[in-house]
Amino acid sequence: MPAGKPQVQDYIRTIVDFPHEGILFRDVTTLFADPRGFRMAIDQLLHPYAGVQFDKVIGLEARGFILGGAVAHQLSAGFVPIRKKGKLPGAVIAEEYTLEYGEAVVEIHDDAIQPGEKVLIVDDLLATGGTAEAGIKLIERLGGEIIGCAFIVDLPELGGRKKLEAMGMDIHVLCEFDGL
């Protein structure tokens, strides 16, 4: 850890060539494992929303569940997971999206959000924005009002932030890393 006051990015390790050669994987589990780092990240994710009332916090599969639960607790809001296809019991709605190597589907319970409820979307990493875009579409189909999207890491070269902002989303990120 660098000298001086640590920043969120100081707690995130980089793993070279994972999951494929040429990828620099930004591993937030080291941030989650450190009590000071984890609290710092949760506090900073919440900071721009001080005084805003939320009904629900939405966590995107899977590390968004860890963050979303902590954020929901701090906001005294409910927590709703958006999961990969086939992981939620009961009635769901689904949204397909494109990955760099194929397609995927995410789902949400069809009664998880009531029309007009104010929600905050939380996840660890914003890369291409595909998962977040699919989540936004699900929330909008249920009538939720998305107040913001908060991420720990943005990979600006992959264009996810621009994609979500073009959809009218307010984006909050704690740090950026260059490279893929």
Active site residues: 63, 100
Neighbours of 42 (CB within 10 A): 19
- Which residues have a Cβ under 8 Å from the Cβ of 117 and sit 6 or more positions away? 55, 56, 143, 144, 145
Q: Are 154 and 28 contacting, i.e. CB atoms less than 8 angstroms apart?
A: no
- Pairing state of beta strands 24-27 and 13-16? antiparallel
Q: What gap in Å lies between CA 174 and CA 180, rounded to an integer? A: 17
- Pairing state of beta strands 56-60 and 78-84? parallel
Phi, psi of 119 (to 5 degrees): -130, 155
Query: Among candidates 117, 159, 19, 131, which has minimal Cα distance to 65?
Result: 131
- What single-letter DSSP state applies at residue 144? -
